[in-house]
A = this chain, B = another copy of it.
Amino acid sequence: MGMALSGHERRQAKKREEILAIATELFLKEGYGRASMDQVHARLGGSKRTLYNHFPSKEALFEAIVSRVSDRVLAALQPSLGDSDLQDALNRMGKDYLSALLSPDGLALYRAMVSEAPHFPELARTFFENGPSRASHHLAAFFREQKVIGNLDVDDPQIAAEQFLGAVRGDIHLAAVLSAKKFTSKVIEKSVAQVVGLFLRGAGH
């Protein structure tokens, strides 16, 4: 790894980044349907041919964008489940999870995937696997550990994890997706704390 890049390759990579940066902003803001290659080209300047040299079609450009933003957002979806207190771990985990979902990129990515899933089934599939599914599996593994130790008593850790995260999303996530209204971290923390409280009373010890 770390292959030396020739001048042309560096130049090409730089243009590619420039295109992706501009197109990402536009696509996430306007959505796939309303964003146009002409708009990308207008903000990018230069020739339309270079744009189509880097990305042979609008779909290809969209897929590249989603792939990049996914990596950026979904990385924050499997936060540290440290070895501290169980309650603290769940609280921090829930807060990080919800914060990632409510970030501008998180919301835009969610909208884009829900909107275009029927036309990009493969993309939707990998999004689900690497995003929500991965997050719940991560938490489920933690639940299994805690179950072995005896800190937790749940039937099916996998389903429990999915439902814990669902409860954390609550109505807040959908409200944010629909209205672009901001939620303070106070509200997030309080909501998460109540989920954790109820969950531990139901499954703790």
How many Å from the CB of A191 to the closest CB on chain B?
6
Nearest residue, chain B, Cβ from A125? B179
Tell me whether B159 and A170 are in contact (CB under 8 A).
Answer: yes
A33 within 8 A of B: yes
CB atoms of A132 and B171 under 8 A apart: yes
Which residues does chain B contribute within 8 Å of A194, judged by CB atoms? 155-156, 159-160, 163
Chain B residues with CB under 8 A of A124: 178-179
A133 touches B (CB below 8 Å) = yes
Closest chain B residue to A163 by CB distance?
Answer: B167
* Known contacts A162-B171, A175-B128, A194-B160; A115/B117 CB under 8 A: no
Instruction: Say which size band chain A's interface belongs to.
Output: 35 or more
**Considering the chains assembled together, what is the distance between the CA atoms of A129 and B175 in angstroms?**
10
Contact partner of A114 (CB less than 8 A), chosen from B162, B178, B201, is B178
Q: How far is the CB of A140 from chain B (nearest CB, A)?
A: 11
Q: Is the CB of A115 within 8 A of B113?
A: no
List, in ascending order, chain B residues with CB within 8 A of A179's CB. Answer: 117, 121, 124-125, 128
Distance of A175 Cα from B174 Cα, bound (Å): 15
Q: Please indicate the chain B residues that have their CB under 8 angstroms from the CB of A162 in the complex.
A: 170-172
Give CA–CA (A201, B202) in the complex, Å.
Answer: 5
Asked whether A154 is an interface residue with its Cβ less than 8 Å from the other chain, the reply is yes
Q: Report if A117-B166 is in contact (Cβ < 8 Å); known contacts: A160-B198, A194-B155, A198-B160.
A: no
- B residues within 8 A CB of A31? 33, 115, 118
**Residues of A with Cβ closer than 8 Å to B?**
31, 33-34, 110-111, 113-115, 117-119, 121, 124-125, 127-128, 132-133, 136, 154-156, 159-160, 162-172, 174-175, 177-180, 191, 194-195, 197-203
Question: 8 smallest A-B Cβ distances: which pairs?
Answer: A202-B202, A33-B33, A115-B115, A163-B167, A201-B202, A167-B167, A162-B171, A166-B170
